[in-house]
Amino acid sequence: MSRKIHIVCLSGTREKLQMAAMIASVGAASGDEVTVFFSMNALAYFIKGDSTEAPVEGEFGTLLAHKGVPPFKQLFQQAAELGDAQLLPCSMALDLLKITDDDLTPEFGKATGLTKFLMDAEGAQLLSF
């Protein structure tokens, strides 16, 4: 039985983005229906050509970078490509950041409002990072 997993990414820290990406990629690879909604500080790391690194909250964030753990961007990309996870940018965040769908990395879907995301998440496991 596949599950519905809906994830809200709003933090811009490496550890939180990493955990969200791990859940998305494992869930998608396991056949679960995964949707990730990116807003606020999380969205800025997925603009084409931007190589800004997410800041760490503590020692574990530094370990992630130095111990060969696949980075969160790669895990989200794999979730979308291999497991059909939906990666959705928040329409309000796009407006505030003055970016468009076309400015985002190619694995992202069309901009979505929070109301639609929450309606689609009915009955799903909802996680926030």
Q: Are 76 and 24 within 8 A, CB to CB? A: yes
- Global pTM reads 0.94
Q: What CATH number corresponds to the domain at position 85?
A: 3.40.1260.10
- State the Cα–Cα distance between residues 75 and 60, nearest whole angstrom: 18
Q: Are strands 125-128 and 4-9 parallel, antiparallel or unpaired?
A: parallel
Q: What is the pLDDT of residue 2?
A: 83
Q: Torsion-angle region of residue 26: left (phi > 0), alpha (psi -120 to 50) or beta?
A: alpha
Output DSSP code: residue 12: -
Q: What is the pLDDT of residue 72?
A: 97
- Joined together, the tokens standing for residue 120 give 């689609």
- Joined together, the tokens standing for residue 84 give 């059909």
Domain, as residue range, for 45: 4-128
Domain count within the chain: 1
pLDDT tens, residue by residue, 67-114: 889 999 999 999 999 888 999 999 999 999 999 999 999 999 999 999
pLDDT tens, residue by residue, 30-64: 999 999 999 999 999 999 999 999 999 999 999 98
pLDDT tens, residue by residue, 1-31: 689 999 999 999 999 999 999 999 999 999 9
